[in-house]
């Protein structure tokens, strides 16, 4: 994953689709002010200035009013109430990006990790073969599994085009003293999300649940050979021993059934 100014620029333009909020319709200025986080006087000025969030019957669309205030608030209020609204808006967006980042980070793993998993599985398969399989097919099985996992390892390493940069240090919103500081924090989390999205698009990060499928695919040919030469008892022993060996080698990584 390569971080550069272009990545940061793209992150700044990223859609806010991941942060979708439903409009809240309330009655009365006081109720709306409490939800939006501004003084009643600010809403009165916004209404007189033509803000579109005010409906008939004293009903107020808080989402539309908030969007309008963020875009036009300087024209009606220079006080702390509008800055508080903007700060709350930034913090909400930062929280949304952080949650999205955590979800992506848990869902995908670097291709280099899959390559390392392949190496561990190869060694585990060879150990199991020496313990379980008869001499007649042991050598062929080890050769087949070693070659299959080596192909998977090479494929994963080819997908890794860049060395991942050190994690971008991002301040906590509570440590930000200005809106510009919050804006930089938001950009930082957007950049982190975009780096994962780009890495997934480039094949540099792999869906975690796909690892089991890759291991299963690598074992398909060696396993078919072993199945033809083993009786039911030996075959079951090979399956159990292989799964246990992979569990020790890979930890919580999902395994083939």
Numbered ranges of CATH 1.10.10 in the chain: 25-78
Tokens of 72: 């036009």
Half-sphere exposure of 136 (CA within 13 A, CB side): 6
How far is Cα 30 from Cα 193, in angstroms, rounded to an integer? 38
What pLDDT is stored for residue 257 in this prediction? Answer: 42
How far is Cα 192 from Cα 187, in angstroms, rounded to an integer? 9
Say what the pTM is: 0.63
Which one-letter DSSP state was computed for residue 207? E
Q: Is domain 25-78 given the CATH code 1.10.10 in the classification?
A: yes
How far is Cα 220 from Cα 130, in angstroms, rounded to an integer? 19
Q: Which of 93, 117, 136, 113 is nearest to 218 (CA)?
A: 117
What pLDDT is stored for residue 161 in this prediction? Answer: 63
pLDDT band for position 210 (50/70/90)?
confident
pLDDT band for position 165 (50/70/90)?
low
């Amino acid at each position: 994953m390569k971080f550069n100014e272009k990545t940061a620029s793209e992150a700044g333009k990223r859609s806010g689709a991941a942060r979708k909020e439903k409009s809240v319709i309330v009655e009365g200025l006081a109720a709306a002010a409490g939800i939006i986080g501004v003084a009643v006087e600010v809403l009165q000025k916004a209404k007189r200035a033509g803000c579109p969030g005010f409906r008939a019957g004293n009903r107020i669309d808080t989402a539309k009013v908030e969007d309008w205030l963020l875009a036009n608030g300087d024209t009606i209020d220079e006080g702390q109430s509008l800055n508080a609204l903007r700060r709350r808006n930034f913090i909400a967006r930062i929280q949304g990006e952080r949650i999205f980042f955590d979800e992506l980070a848990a869902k995908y793993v670097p291709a280099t990790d899959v390559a390392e998993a392949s190496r561990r599985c190869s060694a585990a398969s060879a150990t199991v073969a020496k313990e379980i399989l008869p001499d007649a097919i042991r050598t062929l099985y080890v050769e087949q599994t070693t070659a299959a996992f080596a192909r998977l390892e090479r494929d994963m390493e080819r997908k890794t085009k860049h060395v991942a940069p050190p994690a971008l240090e991002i301040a906590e919103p509570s440590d930000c003293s200005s809106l510009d500081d919050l804006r930089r924090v938001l950009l930082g989390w957007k950049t982190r999300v975009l780096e994962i999205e780009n890495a997934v698009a480039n094949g540099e990060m792999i869906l975690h649940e796909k690892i089991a499928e890759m291991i299963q695919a690598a074992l398909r040919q060696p396993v078919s050979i072993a199945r033809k030469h083993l009786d039911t008892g030996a075959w079951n022993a090979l399956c159990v021993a292989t799964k246990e060996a992979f569990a020790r080698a890979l930890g919580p990584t999902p395994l083939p059934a």
